[in-house]
A and B are shown apart, each in its own frame.
Chain A
Amino acid sequence: MDAMQKVKVEIRNVSLAYGATPVLRDISVSIAPGEFFALLGPSGSGKSTLLRLIAGFNQAQSGTIIIGGEDITRVPPWQRNIGMVFQNYALWPHMTVNGNVAFGLVERRLPREVIREKVAAALELVGLRDYGERRPGQLSGGQQQRVALARTIAIEPKVLLLDEPLSNLDAKLRVHMRTELLALQRKLGITTIFVTHDQEEALSISDRVAVLDGGVIQQIGTPMELYDHPANRFIANFVGTINLLKGKVGPAGTGVAFDSHALGRITLPQTKAAAGDAEIAIRPHALTLLASGDNTDAGQVWVEGTVAEREFLGEFVRYTVRVGDTDLIADQPHYSGHPIHVPGNRVKVGINPAQVRLLTA
C-alpha cells in the first residue's frame, strides 16, 4: 500500500453538550498534515466525544470541522472517508477477516479484482496475510486489533482515528503494538489522531499532544513541552510525577522570588510574574539528595529534611523526604555502589532554580 495523501485537520470553536451537561467547551485544534496527534485526558474528559465528532457520530452545537480545506461539519459519517478504529475493534462476527476488511471497499462498489488486491495488501501490511478465512472469534486480541486496523486503512481514509487502540491489550503487547502503530503511520504518512488516557503512551509516540480535562483543552504541545513546561497545575500533575508547592511570588531585585514555608526563598530565573499567591512545580529527578554532612553547591537552594520512605524502581530510587510539614519526592539515579539514604536519615535536598516551574493556575 502506498503512502496516502496528507491532509490537515482543523477543529474550530467546537462545543457540545448532552442535554444540559456540557461535554466539550470551545475546542480549537489544528493538526498538521501527516502528524501523529494524541488526545490525552482522564476518563470522562471528552476525548471519545471529540473523536466521534470528527468521525461524524456526534453533532456539535456550535463550531466547524475542516478536513483538507473542506468543511465537513454537516457531512454524514458514511460520506466522510475518515477511518476510525473502535476501542472494542467492532469486528463483525458474521463475516470472515476477508469479509471485514473488504466491507468498506464493497460499499465503494470497487471491482471484485481490485477489492481482492486491496484486502490482501491491507492484511499484508498488518502481518496477517494468511488469516483471511478466519472468523474474528478465532483471533487473539492483538490480531483482532490488526484486522480492525487493516479494515480501516483498506479504504485509504483521509484521516485515521484511533480510540484507545491499545487499552484492550496486555501490557507487553501494548508496548510492542504502539511502536508498530507508529511505524505504520510513518509509512502511510496518514494524519492520525489517537485517543488515550495513558500519558506514557501519548508522550512516547506522538508528535504533539492535546491534553483534555472537563471538556476543555488544557495545553497543546510536543511531549517535551508538556513535560518541561506544564501550563497549569492539572498538566503538571497529569503528565509525569511532580512536586507541587504553594507559596507567594514577589519581585526581588531584577527577577522574582518564590517564598514558601517549607523551602524558604527561591530566586527564580523569570523576570516577570504577577505578585501574590502562586504555586511551583519541580520534577522529582530535578532534586538532588546529599547526606547531611556533604558539601553543597551554591548554585542550588538547599533545605534539610528526613527520609520518610524509599522505593527502589531499578533505574532510580524514589525517596519521600519530609521537609518541615511538606513531603518532597526526589528521584536519584541508581547504579551499583551509589550511596543509599536510609529512612530516618537526615538529608539535604538541593533545588535547581532553573528547573522550577511557576504555574499560572
Chain B
Amino acid sequence: MMTTARSGFTLVQAALALLIAAFLLAFLVVPVIMVIYVAFANPDGELTLSHFASFFQISLMRESFWNSLIVATLSVVFASLIALPLAYFTARFEFRGALLIQTLGILPLIMPPFVGAVAMQLIFGRSGSLNLLLGDWFDINLPIMQGLNGVIFVEALHYFPFILMNLTVALNNIDSSMEESAQNLGASGMRLFRRIVFPLAMPGYVAGAALVFIKVFDDLGTPLVLNVTNMLAPQAYLRITSVGIEDPIGYVISVLMIGFSLLALWASALVLKGRDYATLQRGYSGLARRRLKPWQSVIAYGWIILVLLLVLSPHLGILLLSFGKVWSFSVLPDSFTLEHYMTVAQDSPRMVWNTMLYCGLAATLDVILGTAIAYLILRTRLPLRQSLDFMASAALAIPGVVLAIGYLRTFKGVQLPFMDEMLTSSWILIMLAYTVRRLPYALRSCVAALQQMHVSLEEAAENLGASKRRTIYRIVVPLMAGGILAGFVTSFMTAAVELSATIMLTTSQTDAPMSYGIYLYMQSAAGRGPGAALGVLAVVIVALGTYFSHRLIRSRAAGQQARPLQKIEV
C-alpha cells in the first residue's frame, strides 16, 4: 500500500478521515452553527443581541428559563438523594440486596420517561391511585404530579441510575487502605465518610450528576406528556411548530440549551481536573465490606424496597393501562381487555417497522463511523485526527430539539436527488439525527475495544504478509467485534426511545417511529390504552436489547481472558 513515508499515513486513511469529517460537518457542525448564527443575526445578517433581549422581555420565556433550570437542578438533587444511599450500601456493606440494587440501576432506563409519565399521573396524580387511597384514609392529597413537581419526580426516578452507576464504580475503585489509614489516625463513622470516602468518590458523582442535568434539560417528551409547557425545550418546540422555522425565539432557546449543556460539562470537567483518582492498586481490594447490623438492615432494605416500588410504578402502571378498559378516578382499572393491543396491532405495524429501519440504519452507521474514527485516532498519525473524536463527542452537548431545529433550517428547501420529496420532510433526517446523537456512545465503545487490543497483534499480521486493509479486515474488526456489537445495541436501544428530535422531524404519520406513535396516542384520553400497549412493546424491545448487550459485553470480557496476549502492556 502507498504510504506517504514521512507523515506516516496512507491516502486511503486520509480520504476516509475527510469523508467522516464531511459527514460530521454536514449533519452536526453546520446545523448547530446555523442555529447559533440565526440566534445572533438580524434579518440583514448583522450581529445582534436583540433576539435575546426580546426573549427575556416575554414573561413566559423568563418563566420557562427559570423553570428549566429549577427542574434540572432539583432532578439532580432528588436523583442524588435516591442514588447516594444505594451506592453506599453496595460499596460498603456485604449483603444480598446488592443484586436488587443492580436491577434498580437498569429498570428505569429500559422505559423512556415520557412513556412512564402517563402511568405516573394515574398512580401519583391528583386523582391517582395513591391520592385516592390517601384521601380515603387520611383525607390528604399530595401534589406529587402537579406542574413542575411531576416533571422533577419522573425525571429523578428515571435518571438516578446514571448517578448510581458512576458513584458505585467510583466507590469500588477506592483502595481499602485509603479508608483504613484514616481509621488508623482516628477517624470513623460519618466523619470518615465525609472527609475521605465521599471526596474520593466525588469525580464519579459529578460525572453522573452532570449527565443527569444535561439529559433532563433537553428532555422534551416528559414535559409535553405531562402538559407542562412553560419550560425551555417545550417552548422551543412550540415556537418552531406554531410560529414557524423563522421565529428567532426558538433559536435563542436553542442557544441557551446548548449553553447549559456546555456549562454542565465544563463544570464537571473543572471538578474532575487533576482529580481522576484511580486509587485502586494492583492486588488490593476495594473498600472493606462490613456486615449490616440489624437496624442497618432494616434501613437499607426499607430504602431499597421503597425505591424499587417507585421505580417499578411506571412499569406496572403502563402494563395496567395497556390491559385496562377504563382507568380514571379509581385505584386500579375497572376491568381488563386485550383491545388496546389489537388496536396497536392494526394501527402500528408500520411504526414498529419504521423504528427498526431508522434505528437499525442509525446504529449501523454509528458503528461504522465509530470503528473508523477509533482506528484513525488510535492507529494512525493522521494530522488533526483528534478533531474527529472531538466533533463526534460534541454531539453529547447538543440537545435533540436543537439538532432538529438546525436540520430543519439548514436543509430547508433541499430536494432529495431522484425523488420528488424534500429532505426536511423525509425520514432520512430522523435517521441521521439518531445517528449523530448516539455516535458518542458507539464511539466510546469502539475506542475501548480497540484500546484493549495490543498493537502487536496487528504487527504480527503485517509481518506475516497481510496488507493494512487485509489486517483490518482479518484481525482488527474480528477482535473488535464484541465492542462493535455492544455499540450497535446501545445505539439501537437508545435511539428507539428518542423523542426530542423525533417529534420535531416527524412530518407524516407513515414515517412516524414508535416513540412518536406513543406520544401521539398519549395526547388523547382515549389513546392512552393503545399508547400504553405500544409503550409495552417498546419496553420489551429495549429490554431484549439491554439483555443481549449485557450478554455480549460479558462474553466479550470472557473472550478477552482467553486471549492473554492482549493484556500485555508495553
Contacts and interface: CB of A to CB of B under 8 A. Distances in A.
A354 interface: no
Given A88-B281, A90-B175, A93-B279, A151 B180 contact: no
A176 interface: no
Contacts of B199: 92, 94
A94 B202 contact: yes
Contacts of B185: 78, 83, 103-104, 107, 151-152, 155
Interface residues of B, number: 25
A78 B186 contact: yes
A108 interface: yes
Contact of A82 (B175, B184, B191, B275): B184
Contacts of A88: 175, 177, 281, 284
Contact of A78 (B187, B202, B277, B284): B187
A86 B177 contact: yes
Interface in A288-304: none
Contacts of B195: 103
Contacts of B188: 76-78
Interface in A48-80: 55-57, 76-80
A87 B175 CA distance: 12
Given A77-B180, A84-B181, A107-B191, A93 B284 contact: no
Contacts of B279: 93
Contacts of A152: 184-185
A296 B202 CA distance: 76
Interface string B179-198: 01111111110010001100
A77 B179 CA distance: 11
A135 B191 CA distance: 22
Contact of A90 (B181, B277, B288): B181
A93 B181 contact: no
Contacts of B281: 88
B200 A84 contact: no
Of B184, B191, B202, B274, most A-chain CB atoms within 10 Å: B184
B186 A155 contact: yes
B188 to A, nearest CB: 4
Contacts of B181: 84, 86, 90, 148, 151
Nearest to A82: B184
A90 B275 contact: no
Interface string B285-296: 000100000000
B178 interface: yes
B177 A90 contact: yes
A84 B182 contact: no
B147 to A, nearest CB: 40
B184 A78 contact: yes
Interface in A135-167: 135, 137, 148, 151-152, 155
B184 A77 contact: yes
Interface centre among A90, A148, A152 (most CB of B within 10 A): A90
A93 B191 CA distance: 17
B121 to A, nearest CB: 43
Chain A interface size, as a band, is: 20 to 34
B281 to A, nearest CB: 5
B394 to A, nearest CB: 29
Contacts of A151: 181, 185
Interface string B431-465: 00000000000000000000000000000000000
A103 B182 contact: yes
B289 to A, nearest CB: 13
A76 B185 CA distance: 12
Given A94-B199, A94-B202, A78 B183 contact: yes
A116 B283 CA distance: 36
A83 B275 contact: no
Contact of B178 (A77, A82, A92, A155): A92
A79 B184 CA distance: 8
B178 A90 contact: yes
B290 to A, nearest CB: 12
A155 B182 CA distance: 12
A90 B180 contact: yes
A57 B175 contact: no
Contacts of A155: 185-186
Contacts of B180: 55, 57, 77, 84, 86, 90
Contact of A107 (B177, B186, B202, B288): B186
B183, B199, B202: most-surrounded residue (chain A CB, <10 A):
B183
Could you say which of B185, B188, B279, B281 has the most chain A C-beta atoms within 10 Å of its C-beta?
B185
Interface in B149-200: 175, 177-178, 180-188, 191, 195-196, 199-200
A90 to B, nearest CB: 4
Contacts of B196: 92
Contact of A55 (B184, B186, B202, B288): B184
Contacts of A94: 199-200, 202, 275, 277
A94 B205 CA distance: 15
Contacts of A76: 183, 188
Nearest to A78: B188
Interface string A87-119: 110101110000000011001100000000000
Contacts of A108: 186
Contacts of B178: 90, 92
A289 to B, nearest CB: 44
B184 A83 contact: yes
Interface in B198-215: 199-200, 202
A66 B187 CA distance: 22
Contacts of B186: 78-79, 81, 104, 107-108, 155
Contacts of A82: 184
B275 A93 contact: yes
A303 to B, nearest CB: 47
A152 B180 CA distance: 12
Question: Which of A103, A135, A151 is the most central at the interface, judged by chain B CB atoms within 10 Å of its CB?
Answer: A103
Nearest to A154: B185
A5 to B, nearest CB: 17
Nearest to B196: A92
Contacts of A148: 181
Contacts of B202: 94
B196 to A, nearest CB: 6
Interface in B374-431: none
Contacts of A79: 186
A82 B186 CA distance: 9
Nearest to B179: A90
Given A76-B188, A78-B188, A86-B177, A93 B183 contact: no
Interface in B320-363: none
Contacts of A103: 182, 185, 187, 195
A80 B183 CA distance: 10
B293 to A, nearest CB: 14
Nearest to A79: B186
Nearest to B192: A78
Interface in A31-45: none
A322 to B, nearest CB: 41
Nearest to B284: A88
Contacts of A78: 183-188
A93 B277 contact: yes
Interface in B245-279: 274-275, 277, 279
Interface of A: 55-57, 76-84, 86-88, 90, 92-94, 103-104, 107-108, 135, 137, 148, 151-152, 155
9 contacts: A77-B180, A78-B185, A87-B177, A88-B281, A90-B175, A92-B199, A103-B187, A151-B185, A155-B186
Interface of B: 175, 177-178, 180-188, 191, 195-196, 199-200, 202, 274-275, 277, 279, 281, 284, 288
Q: Please give me the 5 A-B residue pairs with the lowest Cβ-Cβ distance, nearest first.
A: A104-B185, A107-B186, A90-B177, A90-B181, A78-B188
Given A78-B183, A87-B177, A93-B279, 18 more contacts: A57-B288, A76-B188, A77-B180, A77-B184, A77-B188, A78-B186, A78-B187, A83-B184, A86-B177, A86-B181, A88-B284, A90-B177, A92-B196, A92-B200, A93-B277, A104-B187, A152-B184, A155-B185
